Amino acid sequence: MKRWITVLAIAWMSAPLQVWPQAIKTGMTFSTRQTPVHDPVLIKQGHTYYLFGTGRGISVFSSKDLQTWKKEKPVFEQPPAWAAAAVPGYEGHAWAPDISYYKGLYYLLYSVSTFGKNNSCVGMAVNTTLDPTDPAFEWEDKGMIIRSVAGSDHWNAIDPNLVLHEKGKPWLCFGSFWNGIQLVALASDLKPAGGVKTIASRCTGQPGADSVTAGGAIEAPFVFRKNGYYYLFVSWDYCCKGRDSNYKVVVGRSRKITGPYVDKKGQPMAQNGGSLLIGGNGSEWMGIGHNAVFTDTDGTDYFVAHGYDEGESKLWIRKLRWATDGWPLLEGVSL
């Protein structure tokens, strides 16, 4: 999710900026192509798919077939009190959630921030079920996991992704602009248990410089473990500009969760590396990005993102295949 730095925000003020998915009534249904989401992440419970995305209180959709999506109630009716206190100006429009099933609970991570600033936090809520008709359904907010402070941290604590090591140890991957994508080990309660490490960056300035001076449009990390590799998907360039969006997804991989992640040419992602997986085609879809990867109960892997056909972001889902050399491919997409 793009947290535009001040100089870029000023430059873009005359451009037709993205209107976030409009407020829609609970129970409304949409085809996949017309589902208004931003920064989607997908999970399945029983026979129902649940989609979480950016929105006031965190947007939620459900589907039985990945084709027709019903709007559900948001996760939060009111923003958590701790979030409004931690980030001045935050009014409950939560960004870039991540959903995982871990130790018998559904963990929903979400971003608390305001545009153009890295005074940001990652929050966490838990639930025993995702089915809103279940009497046990209730989101319990657990507060903040990690935060970044402007002037102190050269990274931005948003766009979280909970990653499980092959032995079950949890890690948190996150980051947007500034010095790029970060990784930190977590304790069993999902609180940080180590130092933050940069695993992907597009900075071209001096170490410690942030993206205000060093450039570096990178965000939305998602780590997916497959066939002995950890694959790191990140989004490059700019979302949120309608038909002028040039959002794209690049990927690298590593045998270790801590990296180094390298692209197909061996270029480290921490040094501006990344192999293109998908971008806009200049006609049907403009920018495509902020993806997640989901494995269905039949073993099929899906790539989930949002794309721009006109002004609004819409749901974009394709099957994810794997080439003989282990690199991911999108069904029906050729580069």
Q: Which residues are identified as catalytic?
A: 39, 219
Residue in this structure with the two tokens 């959903």, named with its chain if needed: 99
Instruction: Say if CB 302 and CB 294 are below 8 A apart.
Output: yes
Strands of 227-312, DSSP E: 229-236, 248-254, 275-279, 288-295, 301-308
Euclidean distance between CA atoms 105 and 126, whole angstroms: 6
Question: What region, left, alpha or beta, does residue 67 occupy, with left being phi > 0 and alpha being psi -120 to 50 degrees?
Answer: alpha
Residues making up the chain, counted from first to last? 335
Q: How many CB atoms lie within 10 A of CB 64?
A: 12
Beta-carbon neighbour count of residue 206 at 10 Å? 8
Pairing of strands 68-71, 93-102: unpaired
Tell me whether residue 146 is exposed, middle or buried, using C-beta atoms within 10 angstroms of its C-beta: 0 to 12, 13 to 18, 19 or more.
buried
Amino acid (one-letter) located at 118 = N
Bridge partners, 292 (sequence order): 304
